[in-house]
Amino acid sequence: MRKIAFIGLGNMGGPMAANLLKAGFEVAVYDLQPAARERFCELGAKVADTAAGTLHNAECVISMLPSSPHVEALYLGPDGLLGKLDPKVLVIDCSTIAPQSARKVAAEAASRGLTMIDAPVSGGTAGAAQGTLTFIVGGPSNALEKARPLFEAMGKNIFHAGDAGSGQVAKICNNMLLAIHMAGTSEALNLGVANGLDPKVLSEIMLKSSGRNWSLEIYNPWPGVMENVPSSRAYAGGFASKLMLKDLGLAQEASQSSGAMIPMGQKALDLYARHCEGEGASLDFSSLVASFREGLLK
């Protein structure tokens, strides 16, 4: 597969599509935002005016969209893309959505003779830019093998979680844990600073102690502690808090449908819901620490 249709050029999708271009794939792209489309003109991609416009001669369609309704609107219905694709075309959705939505779209694809896999990613915007993402795949193993060269151009780790929707379940579990340790890291740093500690020194201490975690080591939320992370640029870019809140909502839905209790996940959802009531919604999810600093999360 060399000819790829890529739909969704946001903070994650844009770098992913750019890495496919760098790897020598022929990429036709579409995004609702004109600025995103214009950037890809400069990168040498074929830029379409509609999602359907990316499909000419495509051997694979990749989508990276914000939520379940966006994915279902793109693929399903009388004008959905599934009705416009040759059965030979592989469909890959890298969005993080509800498992039941992933299964719904995959089932409709199968009814039309198409193969679809859900392949949500982990690694953040830095991983997307550097081509080191982790792909968590749900769907047929032979489809994963067919897609592997594409994943290897955009990422470093590839896992097969199981059948359709399994990639989404694993991603929801991962992001719930991410939210929990980001909240805990933010709370601990704020406690230390409030009691006179230097946040950088405290971070170094915890990194060499049992409190070590990804948020502390790779994505420190306290401004000035770490370079090249959202907290060093006023929480611009990155993974928006409102998207983390969306993913925590998906975890809550999965909890309710399965009966698995998530008390810490629920607490993280409550914290992000309160954080997103203000300007934090559009800022990177590590900006949660600002709500702790401002005394808004009591």
Q: Is 88 labeled as catalytic in the residue annotation?
A: no
For the chain, the maximum distance between any two Cα atoms, rounded to a whole number of angstroms, is: 64
- Inter-residue contact 215 to 178 (CB < 8 Å): yes
In this structure, the strands spanning 46-47 and 155-162 are unpaired
- Inter-residue contact 236 to 283 (CB < 8 Å): yes
C-alpha 173/C-alpha 180 separation (Å) is 11
User: Among the options 22, 46, 88, 171, which is catalytic?
Assistant: 171
| Cα 73–Cα 172–Cα 184 angle in degrees, nearest 5 | 135
Question: 39: which residues sit within 8 A by CB, 6+ positions away?
Answer: 9, 14
- For 25: left if phi > 0, alpha if psi spans -120 to 50, otherwise beta; the answer is beta
**Catalytic annotation, residues:** 171
